[in-house]
Amino acid sequence: MATEPVNPYAPSEALAHEAEKPVARPGPGRLAALVLGILAYPLTGAGFYALGRRRRLARWIAVGLFLWVLVIVSVRFPLPKLCVFAFTAMMLATLASLVDVLVAGPLAPPKGRVVLIAALLVVAGRGGAFAVKRWLAEAFSIPSGAMVPTLLVGDHIMVSKGRGDVQRGDIVVFEFPPDRSTDYVKRVVAIGGDTIEVRDGIVSINGAALEQTKLEGDCPEQEEPGWCQLARETNAGRSYTIMRTPDHPAADLSRWTLPEGNVFVLGDNRDNSYDSRKWGPVPLDHVKGKATLVYMSSDPKTRALRWSRLGRGVE
């Protein structure tokens, strides 16, 4: 039998074996990693999962969690300067991690259920942020002048969440009783069981007038010079500054006993505050937490930062 001539164009055995190997599918690119990093905020560095860089992923997540813990601790205790540092560092770390994702190339495509794990990272980041906001610390902004001079319009404050152990003198954020979808911030001047009275701008608790000491000095920056009068008020051993407008005094409040489970709140801008004198007490289950510090402040007209108010404690 005649032998078949060799085909000179046939692939070699090595090439044929190479052709049979499965082609590796490319992993998600930098854009997908960037999107994941943004969606999983504040889980810093989550985008590195899409690049298969597990070590870098672990390092960035550790940095982000450490800074989150610092923010929470600084709000709860409170430590105003530490909060500003930790909050700024957290923002910078988030931006740096996104830049790092764009610069770093993929090491190896992630294996397993890629979409599922990416979704879990997003849920972990967003869920963690929700838990912190719900039970530990939350940021609020001040839209009105009812708490001048303690809090100015444009201040951004941090609130330590929880309604336990609310005392006279605390500044609290609460759900407005007539409309619980709206948050208010005021100072607690009386608690359940107290008898309160306001006459000629002087608050009396259980028959004893709160001491007020007039202060020399100008009105806050958002008020007209000479239009207001500042004073230090002392309540249950705690002193804080209030503002009066003698030419436009608020109405008096007749003696009244506060029911248990409620607090009576007033604005520090005593003659220009919509508070418990108008709509009654605040049930404790409406209270979201205590204001502890100002972490940022900007002038509402010029948008310029008020550097002197950054990292200021709320007394």
| Domain CATH code at residue 168 | 2.10.109.10
- Among 135, 152, 177, the domain boundary falls at 135
Is residue 97 in some structural domain? yes
* Confidence class for position 23, pLDDT limits 50, 70, 90: very low
**In 3D, which of 214, 194, 218 has the Cα closest to residue 204?**
194
**130 lies in the same domain as 227:** no
Examine the domain organization and report whether 63 and 111 are in the same domain: yes
- The arithmetic mean of pLDDT across residues 211-235, rounded, is 81
The b-or-e profile of 57-95 (16+ CB within 10 A means b, else e) is beebbebbeebbebbbbbbbebbbebbbbbbebbeebbe
Same domain flag for 309 and 182:
yes
**274 and 170 share one domain:** yes
Q: Give residue 270's pLDDT.
A: 95
Q: Considering only CA atoms, which of 291, 294, 315, 314 is closest in space to residue 306?
A: 294
Q: What is the pLDDT of residue 164?
A: 83
Q: pLDDT confidence of 74, banded at 50, 70, 90? A: very high
- Residue whose C-alpha is closest to residue 258's, from 203, 179, 200: 203
The average pLDDT across 128-157 equals 96
**For the chain, how many structural domains are there in total?**
2
pLDDT tens digits, residue range 42-61? 999 999 998 889 999 999 99
Higher pLDDT pick, 27 / 141: 141
Q: Are 268 and 187 in contact (CB under 8 A)?
A: yes
**In a shared domain, residues 153 and 58:** no
Domain boundary among 135, 158, 174: 135
Residue 146 and residue 293 share a domain: yes
Shared-domain flag, residues 94 and 216? no
Is residue 119 a part of any domain in this protein? yes
The mean per-residue pLDDT over the stretch 34-49 comes to 93
d(CA 83, CA 310): 10
Structural domain span for residue 46? 25-135
116 with 238, same domain: the answer is no
Q: Is residue 26 over pLDDT 70? A: no
The pTM of the full predicted model, rounded to 2 decimals, is 0.87
Asked if 272 and 224 touch (Cβ cutoff 8 Å), the reply is no
**What value does the mean pLDDT take over residues 71-100?**
96
Q: Find where tokens 């809090």 sit.
A: 151
- Decide which of 135, 160, 180 is a domain's last residue: 135
The stretch 278-300 carries a mean pLDDT of 96
Q: Does 235 map to a domain? A: yes
